[in-house]
Structure 1
Amino acid sequence: MNKKIIYLCMAVILCSVNKISAQKDSIAQQRKARKLVRNGNALYEKQQFTDASVAYKKALANSSYYDKASYNLGNALYQGKNFKEAIPSYELTAKTAEDKYTKAEAYHNLGNAYMETKNYQGAVEAFKNSLRNNPNDDETRYNFAVAKKLLDEQNKQNKNDKNKDKNKDNKDKENKDKENKDKDDKNKDKDKKDGDDKDKKEDDKDKDGKGDKDQKDKQDPKKDDNKDKKQKPKPQQGKMSPQQIKQLLESLNNEEKKTQKKMNAKKAKGTKTKQEKDW
């Protein structure tokens, strides 16, 4: 027999053995997962939801796509008020479940979990999918109507809040624009006032300058007199001008002539002498 054929046959045999071993391990894991689910159910009945959740998680660790384990885990988390953690478990069940009833139940509970987290859009879609798989479920239909009403109210509120925020932004913008305008007007008034004060100061300065000039003009005649006086030197005290000296000399000469004339006249008359008595 050809060696290649022998090796090929051995490889096929080994693969078959490994496949059989894997199937045996898978069956064992499935059995263990089912046992863990039963333990979880017992704990769930006792309302020990945390312990039940641990058992269901162990079951999923042995069989990842065990829809009963994921569905029951979602219920245990939901009963423990862990609504956000329950959502992925319900989503997994809805995805892996083979019968429509199980899918409908998973979507129904998923919608309830969304309702608890106020995700009304997600709840509407979940209840809608539940009704697609089980159209005769009145409870799901009622929950769908409630979720839709809450969604409409939420959208309306969001719209009002958006408009309110928009109006607030517009009002804030208007107030800011008004504030900027008032500030600009105030600056303009200040600049105008500063300009007016400057013009006033310049006018006062011109006025003061004109007054000084007029005052100077009024004082000019006196100034001119003083100037004339300065141009014609005033004789200082104790000093005589040549003309005055000449006049004084002439006056003295005249007085001297008069005195001499009087003396000559006396000589001509003679002087009176005292006569001695001749006894």
Structure 2
Amino acid sequence: MKIGLYILLLLSTFSFSQEQDKAQLLASKKANDYVFQGNTLIGDDDYVSAEMAYRKAISERPETTEGIYNLGTAYYKSGAYNEALYRLEQAVQTASTKAEKHKVFHNIGNILMKNKQCKEAVEAYKSALRNDPTDNETRYNLGIAKVCAAEQKDQEDQNKDDQENKDDNKDQENEDNKEENKDSKDGDDKEEEKNKDNKEGDDKEDKKDSEDKKEDGKPKDDKEDQGKEGQDKKEEQKPQPQPGQLSPQQIESLLEAMGNQEQKVQEKMNAEKQKGVIIKTDKDW
């Protein structure tokens, strides 16, 4: 009884395995047919229909590298580089042979160059050469990618230096503005202090004038009286001119008038002498 059940189980397993193999073969055949259809459509530049065919191939057999790779190629030729890169990165995971990996990495490098990602393209071409060191086309593309990556690095360094210089200039400008604002503030403070001092001086002057006015309204003190009496005494002590005599002031005025008259006479005589003088001029040869 047990032996019969065991044999029946083996037969069932064998039968299920055969059915599974048939299904896989059928799916593989359909996938290949779709891939072939997609390749034909790409040859006719019908990238939209080719994409649909490759998608069907992947749906029938998701692990098929050829379908994913060709779909990525279709995206690449149609200019959809981001979609192409996504599909080729999928193809890297499903590729089983070095030849397949070489093709995938080579095309990934091409897409990265289209996207101006030169540094990343260098690594992709290196990976392609690891799987096929004899491909001169990949080696040539690697050289181009290295030159591009070096130029991009130089440009990045230049932009970085320019930005640093710009930041330094901005910081210096801010410092200059701070210093200028500080000097302006100090000047304003000095001007305010000067105005304050002037105001205090004006207040003192006004106060002094007010006090002087008050003093003018008050009776003069004894000291001022004494000064006036002394002045009067000096006037009394001056010699008074006698009748018929000139006072000292009159004598001084008379002498001054005589001196002026004599100066005029002298000037007239000098003018008369100058009339007969002849001015000679030297002749140049």
Normalising by structure 2, report the TM-score: 0.71
One-letter amino acid of the structure 2 residue matched with residue 76 of structure 1: A
**Residues 152-173 of structure 1, C-alpha deviations (whole Å, 9 max, x = no match):** 1111111111111111112112
Question: What residue number does 1:107 align with?
Answer: 105
One-letter amino acid of the structure 1 residue matched with residue 55 of structure 2: K
Instruction: Specify whether residues 218 and 137 from structure 1 end up closer, same or farther in structure 2 by C-alpha distance, changes over 3 A only.
Output: same
Partner Cα distance (1:6, 1:193) in 2: 119
The count of aligned residue pairs is 222
Unaligned runs of 5+ in 2: 223-285
**Residues 188-246 of structure 1, C-alpha deviations (whole Å, 9 max, x = no match):** 2112211210111011101211222133223321699xxxxxxxxxxxxxxxxxxxxxx
One-letter amino acid of the structure 1 residue matched with residue 163 of structure 2: D
Percentage of matched positions with identical amino acids: 32
Q: Secondary structure at the match of 1:220?
A: coil
Question: What residue number does 1:146 align with?
Answer: 144
Matched, 1:181 2:166: no
Aligned-pair CA distance for 1:89: 2.0
Unaligned runs of 5+ in 1: 225-279
Partner Cα distance (2:6, 2:214) in 1: 136
**Residues 133-153 of structure 1, C-alpha deviations (whole Å, 9 max, x = no match):** 111111111110110111111
**Residues 109-150 of structure 1, C-alpha deviations (whole Å, 9 max, x = no match):** 110000000111210001001111111111111110110111
CA RMSD of aligned residues (A): 2.5
Matched, 1:25 2:23: yes
Question: What residue number does 1:70 align with?
Answer: 68
Q: Secondary structure at the match of 2:51?
A: helix
Residues 23-62 of structure 1 aligned to structure 2 (within 5 Å): 23-62=21-60
Which stretch shows the higher mean deviation, 150-159 or 19-28?
19-28
Q: 1:95 aligns with which of 88, 93, 96?
A: 93
Question: What residue number does 2:168 align with?
Answer: 170
Partner Cα distance (1:37, 1:17) in 2: 30
Aligned-pair CA distance for 1:9: 7.8
One-letter amino acid of the structure 2 residue matched with residue 70 of structure 1: I
Partner Cα distance (2:98, 2:73) in 1: 18
Q: 1:81 aligns with which of 79, 91, 102?
A: 79
Partner Cα distance (1:47, 1:152) in 2: 36
Instruction: Specify whether residues 92 and 220 from structure 1 end up closer, same or farther in structure 2 by C-alpha distance, changes over 3 A only.
Output: same
Instruction: Specify whether residues 8 and 200 from structure 1 end up closer, same or farther in structure 2 by C-alpha distance, changes over 3 A only.
Output: farther
One-letter amino acid of the structure 2 residue matched with residue 205 of structure 1: D
Q: Secondary structure at the match of 1:47?
A: coil
Aligned-pair CA distance for 1:108: 0.8
One-letter amino acid of the structure 2 residue matched with residue 220 of structure 1: K
Which stretch shows the higher mean deviation, 129-138 or 94-103?
94-103
Aligned-pair CA distance for 1:15: 5.6
Aligned-pair CA distance for 1:92: 2.4
Question: What residue number does 1:192 align with?
Answer: 190
Q: Secondary structure at the match of 2:218?
A: helix
Aligned-pair CA distance for 1:97: 2.0
**Residues 41-95 of structure 1, C-alpha deviations (whole Å, 9 max, x = no match):** 1101111122111111111111111111111111111110111111122222233
Q: Secondary structure at the match of 1:118?
A: coil
Aligned-pair CA distance for 1:98: 2.2
Partner Cα distance (1:156, 1:162) in 2: 10
Instruction: Specify whether residues 19 and 178 from structure 1 end up closer, same or farther in structure 2 by C-alpha distance, changes over 3 A only.
Output: farther
